[in-house]
A and B are shown apart, each in its own frame.
Chain A
Amino acid sequence: MNDDSHSSSDSSSNSSLTRQQARQIAANGLWSNNPALVQLLGLCPLLAVSGTIVNGLGLGLATLAVMLGANGCASMIRGHIRPEIRLPAFVMIIAALVTCTELAMAAMAYELYQVLGIFLPLIVTNCAILARVEAFASRQPLAPSLLDALMNGLGFTLVLIVIGALREALGQGTLFDGMELLLGSGAADWVIQLPGERHMLFMALPPGAFLITGLLIAGKNAIDDHIARRRPASQPPSEQRRVRVTGTIH
């Protein structure tokens, strides 16, 4: 995937990060180019493990860690690999980092590791990571790459947590259930029992994840439309729409 908005600002000689650049990177990763809501990357883990907040948070943090490492490594070696072999090299880096993350999680949060199951090793196939490495880190110095990874990882994690919270509340009637799996036994009593006896099992199942993700994307687009209408003159919306993104990227 080709991210045009950053290629122009490639400045390997000038490694310092201006405030303007940093703000732009943060806005892109968290909102206007959010990996989950706009690029629709990593949908498989997003839909499959977002049943509760703790699952979403666990997978989001693991993805964030891999993203940080992959963007950092790719940025550091970007001058030393030939373009022909860059994708295999990036995938090797990501695979190694995923293995490290998986082993670390098995050691530190074994129950959560078992709950997340196959979706931890599958982080290696999460296109959101490869997209950031290929589109951003392979052309940018270390500091912006790390910031970009942090912001994109946070954007992905936040969406996972929001979907997890909605699905947990509607499908299971709780919030923060099982946080001790990730945060230790001190978090065992964080669980909030919402009122009501019957819950919508539908929301705990994969179709509910599709429905909620679709509604979140619609909500984001509605907010964007609202903002665009309030200040129409400052930024004329670009007509160009990329394939497989939701909404328009300015």
Chain B
Amino acid sequence: MSYLHQTAPIASSARVMRSVSLACLPGIAAQTWYFGAGVITNVLTGILCCCLVEALMLAARSRPLRPTLADGSAMLTGILLGAALPAGTSVWLILIGAVAAIAVAKHLYGGLGHNIFNPAMVGYAMLLVSFPVPMSLWPDATGFGAGDVQNLWQGWLGQLDASTLDAVSGATPLDALRQPAGASVIGDANLSSPWAIISLAWLAGGLVLLAQRLIDWRLPLAMLSTMAVLAALLNQVSGTGSVAFHLFNGATIMGAFFIITDPVSAPGHRRARWVFGAAIGVLVMLIRGYGGYPDAIAFAVLLMNLSAPLLDQLCSGTHRSATDAPRGNS
């Protein structure tokens, strides 16, 4: 977050939140097409849990409920959290993630506009660290209607046992990268694989946001170009996957357009934003190539959120902020 700015006015942030939420729809639709109705339950449960925790925290802090709930920031956090989780995550995990995101990362730091960290990514990282097994169980990308209603309901309640989950789940390409036999997966990085289609759908939503000037083009451009250069380099050095593989797998595109562009937890200055995006790209590539977790967007974003005030301060001596930059998305 940039300490140099005041918080966004509520009216405009509500409009931004609505637009960003709408721009998530293509990505969510594509994800649902491949991973089934579990994606929709994820997103709906995420919205429900986040709004519930937001209301409870507002009541506990004796703040008025209506204006803050109506600005849609909790809803957007819920959408992003739900879309980032493996399809068909149980309601208990989503609730824990919502508490981490809204109660801890947002309200304990002072509410919207004062949060140092991106709330949705705090919720995701907390769940990934706490429950590594269910968090890595993505269902097979066999298409819509793969899981029947009974399984979906039991999975939502968290009552599916591990063997059933194993039977319906498949390794994501980024998981396969961890395995010695993953080289074949890296080889066929074409733009018609499920993950690439999903990434293209998120890209479409992101481009709409860019066209509406709701997000700063510097952030995704810095992150994606850094990742492309590093992916090409690291692929030569240690064979960690091609440029297209890394750009169109996992949460790269979603992260570049919907996560790191959060104006509260990203720096405010133009030059700081270039550094911010590029550093996230570097961290993502390093953690993907050499780290212990398959995808790295959440950790990279959180690490750079920490550095955002410093980046702003270092750049503020020479450069005033990007005052035209939109603010208020979460």
Chain A positions near chain B (C-beta within 8 angstroms)? 198-203, 205, 207, 211
Complex CA–CA separation, A154 to B104 (angstroms): 30
How many residues on the B side are at the interface (Cβ–Cβ under 8 A)?
9
Return the contact of B129 from the options A198, A199, A205 (Cβ within 8 A). A205
**Which residues of chain B have C-beta atoms less than 8 A from A198's C-beta?**
131, 133-134
Complex CA–CA separation, A199 to B92 (angstroms): 12
Query: Shortest 8 CB-CB distances between A and B: which pairs?
Result: A202-B130, A200-B130, A201-B130, A202-B129, A202-B126, A198-B131, A201-B129, A205-B129
Does B96 sit within 8 A of A, measured CB to CB?
yes
**Which residues of chain B have C-beta atoms less than 8 A from A207's C-beta?**
129
Q: Are A201 and B131 in contact (CB under 8 A)?
A: yes
Q: Are B104 and A200 in contact (CB under 8 A)?
A: no
**Which residues of chain B have C-beta atoms less than 8 A from A201's C-beta?**
129-132
Looking across the interface, which residue of chain B has its beta carbon closest to that of A205?
Answer: B129
CB distance from B156 to the nearest CB of A (A): 15
Looking across the interface, which residue of chain B has its beta carbon closest to that of A201?
Answer: B130
**Which residues of chain B have C-beta atoms less than 8 A from A203's C-beta?**
130
Looking across the interface, which residue of chain A has its beta carbon closest to that of B158?
Answer: A198
CB distance from A171 to the nearest CB of B (A): 8
Complex CA–CA separation, A198 to B131 (angstroms): 7
**Which residues of chain A have C-beta atoms less than 8 A from B132's C-beta?**
201
Residue with the greatest number of chain B CB neighbours at <10 A, chosen from A198, A201, A207: A198
Complex CA–CA separation, A205 to B130 (angstroms): 9
List 18 A-B residue pairs with CB atoms under 8 Å apart, sorted by A's residue number: A198-B131, A198-B133, A198-B134, A199-B130, A200-B96, A200-B130, A200-B131, A201-B129, A201-B130, A201-B131, A201-B132, A202-B126, A202-B129, A202-B130, A203-B130, A205-B129, A207-B129, A211-B104
- Which residues in chain B, 120-144, are within 8 Å of chain A measured between CB atoms? 126, 129-134
Looking across the interface, which residue of chain A has its beta carbon closest to that of B108?
Answer: A214
Looking across the interface, which residue of chain B has its beta carbon closest to that of A214?
Answer: B108
Complex CA–CA separation, A131 to B283 (angstroms): 42
Looking across the interface, which residue of chain A has its beta carbon closest to that of B93?
Answer: A198
In terms of DSSP, what is the predominant structure of the interface of chain B?
A: helix
Looking across the interface, which residue of chain B has its beta carbon closest to that of A203?
Answer: B130
Q: A200-B131, A202-B129 are in contact. List 10 more A-B contacts (CB 8 A).
A: A198-B131, A198-B133, A199-B130, A200-B96, A200-B130, A201-B131, A202-B126, A202-B130, A203-B130, A205-B129
- Which residues in chain B, 78-134, are within 8 Å of chain A measured between CB atoms? 96, 104, 126, 129-134
Complex CA–CA separation, A200 to B134 (angstroms): 12
Complex CA–CA separation, A201 to B131 (angstroms): 7
Residue with the greatest number of chain A CB neighbours at <10 A, chosen from B126, B130, B131: B130
Looking across the interface, which residue of chain A has its beta carbon closest to that of B132?
Answer: A201
**Which residues of chain B have C-beta atoms less than 8 A from A200's C-beta?**
96, 130-131
Looking across the interface, which residue of chain A has its beta carbon closest to that of B104?
Answer: A211
**Which residues of chain A have C-beta atoms less than 8 A from B131's C-beta?**
198, 200-201
Looking across the interface, which residue of chain B has its beta carbon closest to that of A199?
Answer: B130
CB distance from B217 to the nearest CB of A (A): 34
Complex CA–CA separation, A199 to B134 (angstroms): 12
**Which residues of chain A have C-beta atoms less than 8 A from B129's C-beta?**
201-202, 205, 207
Complex CA–CA separation, A90 to B130 (angstroms): 43
Looking across the interface, which residue of chain A has its beta carbon closest to that of B162?
Answer: A197
CB distance from B34 to the nearest CB of A (A): 26
**Which residues of chain B have C-beta atoms less than 8 A from A211's C-beta?**
104
Complex CA–CA separation, A201 to B130 (angstroms): 4
Complex CA–CA separation, A202 to B132 (angstroms): 10
Complex CA–CA separation, A199 to B132 (angstroms): 11
CB distance from A11 to the nearest CB of B (A): 45
Complex CA–CA separation, A64 to B132 (angstroms): 38
Complex CA–CA separation, A205 to B104 (angstroms): 17
**Which residues of chain A have C-beta atoms less than 8 A from B126's C-beta?**
202
Complex CA–CA separation, A199 to B129 (angstroms): 11
CB distance from B254 to the nearest CB of A (A): 23
**Which residues of chain B have C-beta atoms less than 8 A from A199's C-beta?**
130
Looking across the interface, which residue of chain B has its beta carbon closest to that of A171?
Answer: B130
**Which residues of chain A have C-beta atoms less than 8 A from B104's C-beta?**
211
- Which residues in chain B, 177-213, are within 8 Å of chain A measured between CB atoms? none
Complex CA–CA separation, A200 to B93 (angstroms): 10
Complex CA–CA separation, A198 to B127 (angstroms): 12
Looking across the interface, which residue of chain A has its beta carbon closest to that of B126?
Answer: A202
Complex CA–CA separation, A205 to B131 (angstroms): 13
Complex CA–CA separation, A211 to B132 (angstroms): 20
**Which residues of chain A have C-beta atoms less than 8 A from B130's C-beta?**
199-203
Complex CA–CA separation, A202 to B104 (angstroms): 14
CB distance from B60 to the nearest CB of A (A): 10
Looking across the interface, which residue of chain A has its beta carbon closest to that of B90?
Answer: A198
CB distance from B177 to the nearest CB of A (A): 23
Looking across the interface, which residue of chain A has its beta carbon closest to that of B133?
Answer: A198
Complex CA–CA separation, A201 to B125 (angstroms): 12
Complex CA–CA separation, A145 to B131 (angstroms): 47
Complex CA–CA separation, A207 to B130 (angstroms): 11
- Which residues in chain B, 266-307, are within 8 Å of chain A measured between CB atoms? none
Residue with the greatest number of chain A CB neighbours at <10 A, chosen from B104, B129, B132, B134: B129
CB distance from A79 to the nearest CB of B (A): 49
Looking across the interface, which residue of chain A has its beta carbon closest to that of B92?
Answer: A198
CB distance from B119 to the nearest CB of A (A): 15
**Which residues of chain B have C-beta atoms less than 8 A from A205's C-beta?**
129
Complex CA–CA separation, A198 to B132 (angstroms): 10
